[in-house]
A and B are shown apart, each in its own frame.
Chain A
Amino acid sequence: MSRRIAIEINGRAVEGEVEPRLLLADFIRDNAGLTGTHLGCEHGVCGACTVQLDGHPVRSCLMFAVQAHGRRIATVEGMAPSDSSLSTLQQAFHECHALQCGFCTPGILMTMEAFLREEPDPTPERIRSALAGNLCRCTGYQNIITAVRLAADRLNC
């Protein structure tokens, strides 16, 4: 029943022999060992498991690993430019206290990074709307919106 698949994750080819029912999220976490992608609901509502598939945010709990065969995936682990630095968006989250427990943060970063590529100069209202597909139970969202706006300012200058 298993199938051989190969997925490019953060620029690295990850191969595996997987059952068709294996979730993409589980492949990323267990086969690729990238546990920064979190599972918060496994039914596509909370957004914690969001990764980028060929540059677009998708919920890795709503895809099977076999569906991502031959595609390109980016996860939170690929965001920072180096071991000793953060991406502009990550740094803005740190500075604006845009996270508390940090469980939802990777999914929000992946969603917002793609959003800022599509919409580099969003209003706070647009950020609020783009964020509505990701649940955060700790922050009340307002510092996240501030952080995304700060990142936009820095990326645009």
Chain B
Amino acid sequence: MRTTADRIDPVAINGIGTSPLRKEDWPLVRGEGTFIADFKRPGMVHAFVVRSPMAHARFASIDRTATLAAPGVVDVITANELPDRGHPIPTRQFADEGSNRFLQRPLADGVVRYSGEPVAVVIADSRYRAEDAAELLDIDYERLDVVLDPDDAVAADAPLLRPEAGTNVAGHLLVEMGALDEAFAKADLVIEETFHIQRHAAVPLETRGLLAEYDAETDSLTVWGAAKIPHVNRTILARLLGWSDESRVRMVELHVGGGFGARGEFYPEDFLIPFAAIRTGRPVAWVEDREENLRATNHSREQVHRVEMALKKDGTFLALKDSFINNTGAYVRTHGMTVPGLSVSMLPGPYKWPAYRGEFRSVVTNKTPGGTYRSPGRFEINFVRERLIDIAAHSLGIDPIDIRRRNLIGKASFPHDVGTLYDGHPVIYDSGDYELLLDKALAAFDYEGLKRWRREPAAEGMRRGLGVGFFVEKAGPAEREYARVELNDDGDVMVYTGSASVGQGVETILAQVCVSHLGLPYERVRVIHGDTAVIPEGMGAFGSRATMLGGAAVMRASEQVRKRVFGLAAEELEAAPADLVLTPEGVSVIGAPARSVSLKTLLSASGGLIMEEHRFVCDLLGFPYGIHFAAVEVDPASGAIHIHRYAVAYDIGRCVNPVLVAGQISGGFAQGIGGALLEEFSFDANGQPLSASFMDYLLPTSEEVPDVELLLTEDAPSPLNPLGVKGAGEGGTAAVGAAIANAVSDALGSEVTRLPLSPQRVVELARA
């Protein structure tokens, strides 16, 4: 129910739908931010994590003697020093009994399973000296056979990472709906193809880091450098430490230099550094270097899909069948099962499929463990599905837009139950008008003009291609979020949120939501996040959920504060609440400014402060959707791909801040370009990483990322939250691989089945 909020003019106060300058920027442009490496505590010492140089090996013992005697060394921790030799780090989504056999412990104990696995922690008075001393650590590795490729991992004679498990398959899921065999039996055309998506990762520009300090007097621990899910990680850390009272742990988020899914998950270091602080009694700081980051922080995306699609000759889709292997790396980490789980539940995309059968096996191999990366599981399946549709369209001689239009889920079918499950929750597309977005996008981006450009002669030797990629994204849950809004009698507002900042602008967004429903100017609001000592609960920032759930909680708490203030003022002024207006000075009657009462007076009985809390609960996901368009020129001789135009149409239900949403799209798109063209973790035959520096692992620079055109629509607000928002963080990435691969296939007349489209691969395709 909309109450007095109807009177609030969002434009006047920088509310929802406007783009005020960000609250976050000022310290960041002045060099006054506090990232974890900038944060210091008196008496602190530095940790260096010693990592396995081998991808698979046995070791009998670690001799610490020389390291302990080295200058400046405070302590050396191996599995011997950990209680019970270290407890396994649990998964936090897609719980799976079978996958629990493959969890990682904080330190390797007798066997290392990937290059980069932590085997010891050296603590010294400087990072330089900790690294010096680490070189003296004596470990006799005995090499074991490695398995790297996902197909090899399921072979009968594959080396096993866990011989006691008898398999490398850590997880398996089958989803079936409709009459699959019947559908294939009556098909006019069946397309069968295998697709490979390469291993790449989030790689935020700030590496991970932590600073932990133990207070013996209160027997409590403070950990700075938390990100993404501070409260969730507090629970995990307390459990791993064997502390039943998790309030003895305080997690504090500082400035965070990008997350994108990888940062903030619970890693071995998230136990080791706090443990070292307790053990040494000194504040212990740890900052990952880039080489460690590329070997130790979650990788993602490596999947091999074997798909079959059944169609009628008019292009109607009859059935889709996919069996894929997901390479989760050496251990199942917190999100080990999340990524393939998302792939299998979201492969159907925006189309009607009378029958679908999706199945995955998630395997362990001797590579860095995997987890989520922006648009997890979806960047992969959008590439698979949209490529497959184009191959079918080519076979049937149907235009790629027409074949899609014919099969889109119709507006009348929403909410649309896909029939799959996301972490136990049904995948029900909450709202949408896919065809409307298609029509708007074709007009806004002048698709006819693009088709003319495609037919015009290119420069000598160059070939032109167009590609589209449709996608449905997911946004929202875990299931709840907390907000507290406090108004003081100076007219200043504090918003406490259980959401977190990973650099995306959550303070700005939540302040806008607050003012839209409280009615005070944006400048008066401060947003507090990421400190478990002042925020009682929270689920954090992931899966494009901070605006959807965090925003809804802030909205409700703000409305409650406004209602209370107006209730007090209505009595005082003898006026109806609907006739009142709130300013930082106080409340007055509309049209009669002399009839007013100050906040000082109104709030005097409540100690100068009004405080309201709200816990917003929603266990269903929102599903924003969109279309990517790519127009490319390909040089078949050099393999270079020049992006002539790139455009994204995206319906996010409702847009809180258009400039920030556009920033999410262009940033997400840049990461998609990395995944489509450049980024790949390669390994040699022994499992040695070949991409452990920025000279080998290629992040896109300004020269590889063209400007992206954006059409943002609000035609299908989400019915799942009172704001109608769906989350906008991942759509810029979701279909870049799909659209670019379709455009390159169109240019070369040769079907792309593998990412990334490196120059070498493009040259091979051109010759095929």
Contact = CB atoms under 8 A, between A and B. Distances in A.
Q: Is the interface of A mostly helix, strand, loop or mixed?
A: loop
B205 A21 contact: no
A34 B589 CA distance: 51
Candidate in B256, B662, B701 with the most chain A CB atoms within 10 angstroms: B701
A44 B502 CA distance: 25
Interface string A31-43: 0001111111111
A136 interface: yes
B279 interface: no
Contacts of B667: 100, 137-140
Interface in B674-701: 693-695, 699, 701
B219 interface: no
Given A43-B290, A43-B694, A132-B702, A137 B32 contact: no
A77 interface: yes
A137 B22 contact: no
A9 to B, nearest CB: 12
B693 A43 contact: yes
Contact of A142 (B31, B33, B206, B707): B707
A45 to B, nearest CB: 4
Interface string B118-130: 0000000000100
A103 B503 contact: yes
A94 interface: yes
A127 B441 CA distance: 30
B206 A40 contact: yes
A86 B29 CA distance: 8
Contact of A144 (B206, B207, B702): B702
B698 to A, nearest CB: 10
A101 B501 CA distance: 9
B31 A100 contact: no
Given A45-B693, A136-B205, 8 more contacts: A94-B29, A97-B662, A101-B206, A101-B257, A129-B702, A140-B670, A142-B708, A145-B702
A40 B663 contact: no
Contacts of B668: 140
A34 B31 contact: yes
A104 interface: yes
A45 B702 contact: no
Contacts of A37: 31
B206 A97 contact: no
A90 interface: yes
A93 B25 contact: yes
A75 B128 CA distance: 24
Contacts of A139: 663, 666-667, 670
Interface string A9-43: 00000000001011000000100001111111111
A102 B257 contact: yes
6 contacts: A35-B38, A36-B33, A40-B206, A99-B25, A102-B28, A140-B705
A40 B487 CA distance: 40
A57 interface: no
B663 A97 contact: yes
A45 B696 CA distance: 11
A95 B702 contact: no
Interface residues of A, number: 54
A77 B258 contact: no
B290 A131 contact: no
A46 interface: yes
Contacts of B172: none
Contacts of B503: 100-103, 138
B114 interface: no
Nearest to B694: A45
Interface residues of B, number: 55
A19 B128 CA distance: 10
Contacts of B289: 42
B210 to A, nearest CB: 16
B203 interface: yes
A142 B707 CA distance: 6
Candidate in A39, A75, A129, A133 with the most chain B CB atoms within 10 angstroms: A39
B290 A42 contact: yes
Contacts of A135: 205, 694, 699, 701
Contacts of A109: 29
Interface in A65-120: 75-77, 79-80, 86, 90, 93-95, 97, 99-106, 109
B504 interface: yes
B502 A101 contact: yes
Candidate in A75, A97, A133, A144 with the most chain B CB atoms within 10 angstroms: A97
Candidate in A80, A101, A134 with the most chain B CB atoms within 10 angstroms: A101
A122 to B, nearest CB: 13
Candidate in B24, B31, B289, B503 with the most chain A CB atoms within 10 angstroms: B31
A143 B505 CA distance: 15
A64 interface: no
Nearest to A21: B128
Contacts of A42: 289-290
A140 B128 CA distance: 34
Contacts of B666: 139-143
Interface in B609-624: none
A56 interface: no
A142 B206 CA distance: 20
Contacts of A144: 702
Given A34-B31, A36-B32, A41-B693, A132 B205 contact: no
Contact of B505 (A36, A45, A100, A142): A100
Contacts of A152: none
Nearest to B701: A132
Given A41-B693, A42-B290, A103-B258, A36 B702 contact: no
A77 B38 CA distance: 14
A80 B29 CA distance: 9
A116 to B, nearest CB: 15
A22 B129 CA distance: 12
Given A41-B693, A43-B693, A102 B24 contact: yes
Given A77-B31, A106-B31, A97 B659 contact: yes
Contacts of A142: 666, 705, 707-708
Contact of B21 (A35, A90, A95): A95
Contacts of B38: 29, 35
A86 B30 contact: yes
Contact of A77 (B26, B30, B207): B30
A134 B505 CA distance: 22
A106 B22 CA distance: 17
Contacts of B30: 36, 76-77, 79-80, 86, 90
Contacts of A102: 24-25, 28-29, 33, 255, 257, 503
A25 to B, nearest CB: 10
B518 to A, nearest CB: 24
Nearest to A89: B29
Interface in B646-675: 659-660, 662-663, 665-671
Candidate in A35, A46, A76 with the most chain B CB atoms within 10 angstroms: A35
Candidate in A77, A90, A129 with the most chain B CB atoms within 10 angstroms: A90
Given A132-B703, A138-B503, A140-B669, A100 B29 contact: no
A48 interface: yes
Contacts of B206: 38, 40, 101, 103
A33 to B, nearest CB: 9
A46 B289 CA distance: 13
Contacts of A143: 663, 666
Q: Which 4 residue pairs are nearest across A and B when measured between Cβ atoms?
A: A36-B31, A101-B503, A102-B28, A103-B257
Candidate in B260, B290, B708 with the most chain A CB atoms within 10 angstroms: B290
B708 A137 contact: no
Contact of B205 (A22, A75, A101, A145): A101
A134 B699 CA distance: 10
